[in-house]
Chains A and B, each alone.
Chain A
């Protein structure tokens, strides 16, 4: 289906309209019950976000990059993936990595400043978030290439933003994926701003999706605030990937409601009127309208969902805060498989100093 949407003609896949009306003919295999479950996940991630911001202000958590506004793009795409698919996230992917099995406790633990939060469970294939922008699509290509050589029917997904498409490594990754026909999905959340720089300053191209064409594979633009469209496009890209049809780029057109991170003030570079305009396309409210039309939503239920989300999140925060501070040894232990003599010496010197200090 996605090949019908030509980014060069400005065609964008949209299934759920902002008013909650669904294009039934385009509906993917999502039952209303599943949609309701995914709506709950969106609510949950919104709570995760709000609590992270509050914790940051209280000094209990470091700099945080909120997801707010991009929940449908993240929940919808991650839900379309298989358990064994590998995800290479950027730093604004709380929704994705939660959906892929990273415990909320660990997500908080990481932002609270403990690397142990990035030690994902053994059966979870989510990479540590990539902070250097646009560098990690190459890793997704390499891992996909490996999976292909190993004969595994999985795909890999690189999640990144509009700003990343200006980085050189993004282009090398797209090119290599095309040349080696790797089962990779390039999932771009175009949230219109790279910190303060607007999307139109990143590229003179009309869409980001069209960049795939130059690398010899398909790119599709989808309404990123439309859970159905995001899910449908990702699912199809995944099927293409695991059946040997190579990479796909998906540009999910969305908007970041909040700041880039807690360290930033978006009023300096964005107009309120623009934000308000996008708020009318809020992915959560849109889904709510849909559920309402199916009699699957009520105020009571909403309150129940929110209360439940609050308690799940509170528990995760508590668990993260209960994790004892890491020992200084951890700084040294994971540099190499085996501690080198030099590192051992540095560690022992420091531990001796600490011991002396405690006397």
Chain B
């Protein structure tokens, strides 16, 4: 078995899928010779040639719109948008066409494609390089949205995303890219889309999160553990379709929940999670559900970034609040 970080794990997943299925191709800005600005596609062009690993002109809508055409004609494109902050030019293609074609043609045309994009903050990046727009896409019918938090899951989920019959947005937390190394085996395994995972068991409070925030959540869980409070931590892994079964089961057990996300608070995914808890587990609640999130502001540059991103201390505060209610 090999120890890999998330960059290497996704790279491995892409490589194995391209080996397995000749219709899989990669396209985007700097994905070929350069191997991507984060090196996620490193070595792929050398291995599979410039026809399957394609450096495109600088045109996000063009990349995504042609990927749509490639997919409807039978290929399996994996398009890279270099940073999530550059997704807006491609929104029209994603929202108007990619997410709708199956419905609009009553299944006659489909576009199984993957749009990969580095996502989230915490790496002292320039403007437009630290956003968390997952809720916008979760609000778009016809799209699946994935955010892995570990290298192992990232490989299993990128493989599932490529094989999925529907379009998938695959967000890669930049802050995790090189932060963790773990066993990521060679060869085939998949992680199902739409399945959350309990990554720490506990009986007192449920903490729900995804992406880079989970490491902060786990730190907070360790801190509160010393006070005798056992937090159960859930990694959503898939943002849409949302696996509410897993977190509802946990909330019914603990009676308390905290949701942690980097994205702005208002209309963030946390709001949807709370709505589902209210709809299906209201009477299990011993306290109102708490949110620890980014603010309804533009993500600040590095001098203020740590104030914006939920820290273990803020998460701890959220947990305490639901415990003492």
Contact = CB atoms under 8 A, between A and B. Distances in A.
A353 interface: no
Contacts of B166: 336-337
B57 A175 contact: yes
Interface string A339-358: 01111000000000000000
Interface in A175-193: 175-176, 179
A335 interface: yes
Contacts of B96: 131-132, 135
A146 B109 contact: no
Contact of B74 (A119, A127, A150, A334): A150
B65 A173 contact: yes
Contacts of B66: 138-139, 141-142, 145, 173, 176
Interface in A129-158: 130-132, 135-136, 138-147, 149-150, 156
A103 to B, nearest CB: 13
Given A142-B67, A172-B62, A173-B62, A342 B107 contact: no
Given A86-B73, A175-B59, A128 B105 contact: yes
A156 to B, nearest CB: 8
Nearest to A179: B57
Contact of A176 (B57, B89, B92, B106): B57
Contact of B106 (A86, A118, A179, A337): A118
Contact of B141 (A118, A176, A179, A335): A335
Contacts of B71: 142
Interface in B166-221: 166, 194
B97 interface: yes
Most B CB within 10 A of own CB, among A120, A172, A330: A172
Nearest to B166: A336
A136 B23 CA distance: 22
Given A135-B92, A143-B69, A337-B110, A175 B62 contact: yes
A6 interface: no
A100 B106 CA distance: 19
A239 interface: no
B75 interface: yes
* Interface residue tally on B, bucketed by range: 35 or more
Contacts of B103: 115, 334-335
Contacts of A136: 97
Given A135-B92, A342-B242, A119 B69 contact: no
A296 interface: no
Contacts of B57: 172, 175-176, 179
Contact of A336 (B73, B75, B93, B142): B142
B70 A128 contact: no
A168 interface: yes
A175 B57 CA distance: 8
A335 B142 CA distance: 5
B62 A146 contact: no
Contact of B69 (A118, A145, A334, A336): A145
Interface residues of A, number: 44
A149 B75 CA distance: 9
Contact of A168 (B61, B70, B102, B243): B61
A298 B27 CA distance: 58
A146 B73 contact: yes
A324 B258 CA distance: 48
A208 B248 CA distance: 58
Interface string A251-287: 0000000000000000000000000000000000000
A176 B59 contact: yes
A299 B243 CA distance: 69
B16 to A, nearest CB: 21
Contacts of A145: 66, 69-70
Contact of B61 (A131, A138, A335, A341): A138
B241 interface: yes
A138 B104 contact: no
Nearest to A345: B244
A323 interface: no
Contacts of A336: 102, 142, 144, 165-166
12 contacts: A118-B108, A119-B105, A135-B92, A138-B66, A138-B93, A142-B65, A146-B70, A169-B62, A172-B62, A176-B59, A176-B62, A176-B66
Given A138-B69, A336-B142, 5 more contacts: A136-B97, A142-B66, A142-B71, A144-B69, A168-B89
What 10 pairs across the A-B complex have the smallest Cβ distances?
A142-B69, A138-B65, A146-B73, A172-B62, A142-B66, A119-B106, A340-B241, A337-B165, A143-B69, A139-B69
Interface of A: 86, 115-116, 118-120, 122, 127-128, 130-132, 135-136, 138-147, 149-150, 156, 168-169, 172-173, 175-176, 179, 330, 334-338, 340-343
